[in-house]
Chain A
Amino acid sequence: MLLLSTISRRKKIKRVIVICLSVIFLIYILSPIYWVIISGFQKEAALEDRPPHFIPKKEIVTSNHYHFLFTGDIPPDSTLMLQSMYTMSGTLVYPAIINSLIIALFVTFINFMLGFPAGHVFARYRFWADKKIFLLMLATRLLPSISIVIPMYILLNKAGLLDTKFALICIYTAITLPFTIWILKAYFKNIPPAFEEAARIDGCGYFKMMAKVVLPLAMPGIIAALIFAFMTSYGEFVFATILTQTIASKTQTAVLAALAQGMSTSRGMIAAAATLSFLPPLVLAVIFRKHVLAGVCINLKI
């Protein structure tokens, strides 16, 4: 009896510790996001108050920052000082997000078209130098992007592709493909090849088999890999900031970093812009949370 009670007391203490630690980590994880979202809805003058308004009151809430980001209309109620803080580069945020989305979607699509069959081939067939090619591909993942950005710049300029979405799409595809193939290879390894063999015996051609049999089976893995490709290309920074110059190809990372560097820029506007920028991948991750988690775990079975 005594033993049992000490055990249950121990369990209780453990539980309290677990919850306390969890809460601390939750605060660490969530508070930056809370703060940036809240800041985007506060009046500029309120953001300069000391201490800041941790929970904003009604009278300091405004949607002016968002209004400005989309329309370029400087809030009419703001003072002269605030007006000078709304730099026109703020209006680039929205088109830049669209650019980023276009680029990321294309990359995701190419990843699907190329990575899906390639992952399948690596998982199912033995062929000349297969392991070497696979390793070489994985090794390219290790390349720090900063080490190839200079040659890339010079090469793209020679090809007249500097400051185009096309160039970024190609580069991001090259960056994400190895990883997509890696994940999908691991995923196919876990699917017994029996289904495919049966389809083959039934007289299915290769492409029909891939579309009708393999694709549905591999869907969760594919989604996981594609989401990763999407996020990587959406959030890439080094290439984006150096290889783009105008809004024709500037992505949201480049615009946001420049905006945050800008002097005396409205802080509320930066916060609103940051919120807008991370919204697409965030929504995606929340919708496909199961796949994201599964995708990370596929890595384990190399």
Chain B
Amino acid sequence: MKKIFILMVCFFILAASVFAGAQKEEAEVPVTLKFAGWTYDLEKVTENLARYEEWVATEADTPIPGVAVEMDDAGYGEFDTHITTTFAAGGSYDVLYSSDHWLSKWAEAGWVVPLEDHFPEVRNYIQDIAPYSVEAMTYKGKLYGLPYYTDVMYFVYNKKMLADAGIKAPPTTWDEVKEQALKLKKAGITADPMMVGLKAGSWFDEAFFALIYSEGGSLIDKNLNPVFRTDSGPVYDMIEWVKGSINDTKIIPRKVLEMTAVDVQQAFKKGDTAFAIVPGYMIREFNTPGISDVAGQADVAMMPGKSHFTDGYSRMYLMGKSALREEKVKQASWNLIEFMGGETTVDGTKAYHIARRWAIENGLGFSVLSLWNDPEVNKVFSNMGNTEVMKAQKEKAKSKEGISAPWFAEWISLVRTEVQKAIIGEEKTSSVLDTIKKQWVDLKRE
């Protein structure tokens, strides 16, 4: 017994010393920026931040020595929650990632500041950024950030599987998708011919809007009023189509309800499925040998449906309210945003260094128009799939409707649950649509 006791005491002393040591480590730095991003290739992000620290002390227009960046990360699915809890309790970040559907909420709450109020020069970027991306970064007429990456949802298919089943061309309507999928299923080529990630998380929104847009559907108009019919029309038809595909024809496995776009990507690489709806940056991996079991078989087709439209989304860098605490911090934060999302001179060359790096090394999409002139970038994207189709699809991309409403983030998370309810047949599609319409109206009234 005594031994155990002595052992325990030793433990505590050890723990106490470790604890005390850990508290002392913080070194004094003139400017410390707090930066928040979601978990994606953190190694590269950390590298970029280190490069920024170097750059801002030397090459920046107004050099600030001794800037250190502290990064926090949270999963993409939890990111909004993480930011919300931080700011709601009075905390803040100086620079942070955001997605188009959170900006309005954060801006309305005053957590992020309009960049152009403090740094009017940011407007110079507008002419070099695709309009839909600018729109996504604008709230109440003011520009809030610079782009991290932007992409659209593509309809991807497996050429070889289609050929094996004797199908000559990829589908152009959802009925054709069904027809071909059944053919694939019958031929025993794949049991789950189509996948689209419908897990009730952040990727749901992208997939849902892509499906709705493809059929020419529309949810919310410019004046923030709901415009969809609840008993018929493209929105209703599309939900019914997905429901039927999962429950009746079983061309979509029910497990898509627990899959995100990333899970769909993995399934496609594994050769589990013939059709998939995924964000553009994922396509590169499909055709890369060693990464994918179906390398060389994947290709992009226009989104099936009546209008072939798809969802285009933007992720961006914003400035948090705490950046305004000091002139120096404010300047350093702007420098960081410009370094990450804008055009800067690093090692003597002027370029969109970070956006370019993401595009070349990770295949992330971009909304900076001049990057298309970059031969290296162009090469990467032409290797991905049918460039013509991708360009055409990009032109037929719309950003999510209603994102300019600060209640959008709350509404869309209600929609996820409701639409899932319709898909599993817990409630009728029409009553689900009624509910989400009512929710929008009620939230707007508040």
Contacts and interface: CB of A to CB of B under 8 A. Distances in A.
Interface of A: 48, 79-81, 84, 87-89, 98, 101-102, 105-106, 108-109, 153-154, 157-158, 162, 165, 216, 219, 223, 226, 242, 245-246, 248, 258, 261-264
B19 A102 contact: yes
Interface stretch (B36-44, B145-153, B320-328): B36-44
Nearest to A153: B89
Contacts of A81: 269, 285, 288, 290-292
A245 B41 contact: no
Given A223-B4, A263-B77, 20 more contacts: A48-B270, A79-B291, A80-B291, A89-B39, A89-B42, A102-B15, A102-B18, A102-B19, A108-B12, A109-B12, A109-B15, A157-B91, A162-B91, A219-B1, A219-B4, A219-B5, A248-B22, A258-B78, A263-B262, A263-B263
A226 B73 CA distance: 34
* Closest 8 A/B residue pairs (Cβ): A263-B262, A81-B291, A88-B42, A157-B89, A105-B15, A264-B262, A79-B290, A109-B12
Interface string B239-254: 0000000000000000
Nearest to A105: B15
A158 B89 CA distance: 8
A88 B263 CA distance: 19
Contact of B89 (A48, A154, A219, A264): A154
A109 to B, nearest CB: 5
B291 A101 contact: no
A41 B215 CA distance: 47
B31 interface: no
Given A216-B1, A242-B85, A258-B75, A98 B12 contact: no
Contacts of A98: 18
8 contacts: A80-B290, A81-B291, A88-B42, A89-B42, A108-B12, A158-B90, A162-B91, A262-B75
B39 A87 contact: yes
Interface residues on B, range: 35 or more
A84 B291 CA distance: 10
A80 B41 CA distance: 13
A141 to B, nearest CB: 25
A153 B43 CA distance: 30
A84 B288 CA distance: 13
Contacts of B285: 81
Given A48-B270, A245-B86, A87 B15 contact: no
Contacts, number: 81
Contacts of B262: 263-264
B125 to A, nearest CB: 30
Nearest to B89: A157
B46 interface: yes
A159 B20 CA distance: 20
B72 A245 contact: yes
A106 B19 contact: yes
B313 to A, nearest CB: 16
B158 to A, nearest CB: 18
Nearest to B45: A88
Interface in B258-276: 260, 262-263, 265-266, 269-270
Nearest to B197: A263
Interface in B14-52: 15-16, 18-19, 22, 39, 41-43, 46
Interface string B386-404: 0000000000000000000
Given A81-B290, A89-B73, A105 B42 contact: no
A246 B37 CA distance: 12
A223 B78 CA distance: 38
Contacts of B15: 101-102, 105-106, 109
A258 B81 CA distance: 13
